[in-house]
Every structure is written in C-alpha cells, then in structure tokens.
Amino acid sequence: METEVTEQFFRENAYQKQCSANVIASKENVIVLDKTVFYPLGGGQPGDTGKIEWPGGIATVVDTRYGEDGMINHLIDGQGQIPAQGTTVTAHIDWERRYKHMRMHTALHLLGSILQYGVTGGNISAKKSRLDFDMEDTVDKESVNNQLSKLVAANHQVTCRWISDEELHSQPELVRTMSVQPPKGAGNIRLLEIEGVDLQPCGGTHVRSTAEVGNVRVGKVEKKGRRNRRVSILLDQ
Ligand SMILES: [Zn+2]
C-alpha cells in the first residue's frame, strides 16, 4: 500500500465540504479512505459526521477518529451498506455542524487572548464550548463578554501556516509571541494566527476572519477548584 496517512483536506481548506476518495479498507463499522474532508476528534474539537456515497450505496458517518498509523477512521452507524475496498466514493461532511465547530473553535482562541492564563482543558460543541484556566482571580464576565464582542466585530484575519523546526529556531521572537509554546522536535508545526490577537500551534479548523464567529457570548463561569476557572461560551443561532 502506498498511502501511509490519509490525505487531510481540512488542514489546508476548512471550508471544503466534500471530496472524491478511494476506499483503502472497510469493515462493518469503519471506512478508511485515501483522502478526506472529515476532521477527526482532537484538540477538544469533535470528529465530523456526514455521509459517504458511491454508485448504488450510502453510509452514514456518526464520528471520525484517528486510527493507528495516522489513518483516519470514518465510524459508520452499522445500518447501511459498506463500500468494498477500491471503490471510488464521495465524502460529504455535515457542514452546518462543522461550521459551528469552526466558529466556536475560533471564539475559544479569542477567549484565550482575553484571559491570558494557562489553559488546562477545553471542549468544543456546536452550542456550548469551554476553556479551563489555571487562575485564582475572579472573572469579570461582563468585561470578558464586551472584549469578545469587540474582537469579533474588528474582523481580524485568521490564517494558518506550516513552519519547520529550523525556521522556528531561526526566529526566537516568534516563539516568544506565541500564547502556547510549540512542541519541541515535532518537525513541521501548524501555526494558527489571528492577526494582532493570537498566535499558537493548533491543528483544528477555524473560520477565515473573526466576524464569521458571529453571535457568541460568555455563559457560565464556574469555580472548579482553587486554581481552576471554567469559562463557557454560547453560540446564538
Ligand atoms: Zn485552533
């Protein structure tokens, strides 16, 4: 087999909703493709759902996960048909759900730029997302909410780029400006930049500019221990 890892279109273009692909392997509950638009669970962002279609068949994807050796597993509900190895298929994500994840994910970067504390956890869903901060201070919810609205309205550009370890070493000032330090010796690192707001390594999917985040607001602020404040954000539909 020549393919070693699934080609991942969502890395370069988060807005791609479908792609043509070949079936590398399939069994009752899993389809593996040579390339995909489906984002696998990771970095607090849920795996995509959607459909895989081929002439005479359709399968419902209920979740997407990394398998071993970098392949991406499309988990199937087990109700419908399964395409045979070698079949050419079209993979479609549930775009409405994914786009909300992109808006939420970008909003969490904004939240992290407002509350500049260590982040110890996080989770994204279409309706409610959260970050856990390593902090003892109280959170001024109203103030955070206002700053969040301003960052959205300012329509900052959001871009991704890859950088090698060598480039990173030759630009120490870049590392200093990052809100989260990159992993050492990772080879190539994907950087997410919100112009003038945030720069950090991130593998998730984001919107192109902060205006697309739309109507988000701060929900609950919970004290989850002496040094843990859990801040939730809600997406108004
Ligand atoms: Zn991100």
pLDDT per residue over 76-103, tens digit each?
A: 998 878 999 999 999 999 999 999 999 9
CA distance 141 to 118: 18
pTM value is: 0.94
Token pair listed for 172: 């120490």
pLDDT band at 3 (very low <50, low <70, confident <90, very high): very low
Q: How far is the CA of 192 from the centre of ligand 1 (A)?
A: 6
Q: Say whether pLDDT at 206 is over 70.
A: yes
Q: Where are the domains of the chain?
A: 7-93, 98-235
pLDDT per residue over 172-195, tens digit each?
A: 888 888 888 888 777 899 999 999
Q: How far is the CA of 137 from the centre of ligand 1 (A)?
A: 25
Task: Give the helix/strand (H/E) hosting 141.
Answer: helix 141-153
Greatest alpha-carbon span in the chain: 59
Superfamily designation of domain 98-235: Threonyl-trna Synthetase; Chain A, domain 2 (3.30.980.10)
CATH of the domain spanning 7-93: 2.40.30.130
Q: How far is the CA of 168 from the centre of ligand 1 (A)?
A: 19
Q: How far is the CA of 206 from the centre of ligand 1 (A)?
A: 6
Once rounded to an integer, what is the mean pLDDT over residues 186-212? 94
